Amino acid sequence: MLSVTIIGGSGYVGGELTRLVYLHPEVKLKATYSKSQAGKYIHTVHPNLRGILDMTFTDYSPIELATSSDITFFCLPHGQSSKIIPEIAKSNIRIIDLGADFRLKERSAYSKWYGFQHPAPDLLNEFVYGLPELHRKEIATTRKVAVPGCMATSAILSLAPIVREGLDDGRIIVDAKVGSSGSGGKPSLATHFSERYNVVRIYKPTGHRHTAEIIQELSLLQKRNVEVSMSAHSVNMVRGIETTSHVLTPNVPSVKDLWKVYRAFYSGSPFVRIVRDLHGVNKFPDPKFTIGSNFVDVGFDVDQETKRVVAIGALDNLVKGAAGNAVQCMNIMLGMDESEGLKSPPLHPV
């Protein structure tokens, strides 16, 4: 059984990844690293794992931990994994990075979107962008994966069929709403309960970092530059992301045609659900019905009056938006069924 190490396991994403890896039937969790929580039982930080996992966090050298494992996941703050991975990459182990350090292909993009000079630009093209629905074949043959950002995942997967079909005019506007867990576990005034509760707070009207990923991936689909603008809001929920994207199109498709486009595009993608039920209460994707699962729900509507297609995406930001997607990539890298260890349905009600 292959061994797995998690570097940076004390955050929300690290906790979800620890849960999923520990319960995975085909791999064994060897160690979870956390410098700040070293020596503490994992369940003291992630209480949902009490009675399930009897392990402590370690602060043993990340490089030695990684190079003695078959697969290493990195759940570190932006700018940190790129300082460690170059040394580890020499050993040719499988690396799955959940941070942003290897998502973008252009070195200059890191200065623009993240404010740092990338220390290992020679590795950027060795990492496959870890979105199985777009890059399944490349993931199957690589040893290095960069897991997408959560908002980027929702936006890209809801828009990809439209862009691939050439229905857009090259300009897309994305409106994103994210729960409080998207801010991570480190408290601040903005995440303090009195300030965070009951809000619909636009915190990044322009220039959100995940915009770079959306531009990169949609442009690859069309083999031309796609212009993307995104605004991000904090909303009153713990988990979940919903993106509502507006696509102006010179040739407005019918709803029937869009159904065909989406079904064809996501044939063979076990975690994509197309949601458009005009007779139910839950007519379009809603993150509430993805919580705890690796599903992403996508949907659409057509505005004939203004020649606009609206694409909707919804997911659990900690699962399909991060840890679950990482495990899905691991499964593909190892030649397993990509849904292995990820078959739990969403929780309801939440």
pLDDT digits (tens, 9 = 90+) for 277-324: 988 788 999 999 999 999 999 999 999 999 999 999 999 999 999 999
Q: How far apart are the first and last CA of the chain?
A: 35
159 and 263 in a single domain? The answer is yes
Q: What is the domain-level CATH number for residue 281?
A: 3.30.360.10
Q: How many residues does the chain have?
A: 350
Distance CA 276, CA 203 (A): 29
Read off the pTM: 0.96
Are 207 and 305 within one domain? Answer: yes
Domain presence at residue 88:
yes
Residue 160 forms part of a structural domain: yes
- Asked whether residue 120 falls in the same domain as residue 156, the answer is no
Q: Which residue type, as a one-letter code, is found at position 302? A: V
- Asked if residues 243 and 312 have their Cβ atoms less than 8 Å apart, the reply is yes
- Check: CB of residue 178 under 8 Å from CB of residue 165: no
What's the CATH code of the domain at 37? 3.40.50.720
pLDDT in tens, 224-259: 999 999 999 999 999 999 999 999 998 899 999 999
Q: pLDDT digits over 328-347, tens only?
A: 999 999 999 999 999 999 99
Range of the domain at 91: 2-126
Is 239 inside a domain boundary?
A: yes
The number of distinct structural domains making up the chain is 2
**Same-domain pairing of 226 and 80:** no
Same domain flag for 186 and 262: yes
Whether residue 77 is preceded by a cis peptide bond, meaning omega within 30 degrees of 0, is no
Residue 278's pLDDT is what?
A: 84
Which amino acid, one-letter code, is at 44? T
150 flagged as catalytic: yes
Find the catalytic residue in 6, 49, 120, 150.
150
152-188 tens-digit pLDDT: 999 999 999 999 999 999 899 999 999 988 777 777 7
Q: Mean pLDDT of all residues in the chain?
A: 95
Share of the chain above pLDDT 70, in %: 100
Assign residue 315 a region: left if phi > 0, alpha if psi is -120 to 50, beta otherwise? beta
In-domain check, residue 226: yes
Asked whether the beta carbons of 144 and 127 are under 8 A apart, the reply is yes
Do 292 and 155 fall into the same domain? yes
Nearest one of 243, 274, 242, 277 to 259, comparing CA atoms: 274
166 shares its domain with 106: no
The answer on 235 and 268 residing in a single domain is yes
pLDDT at 132 over 90: yes
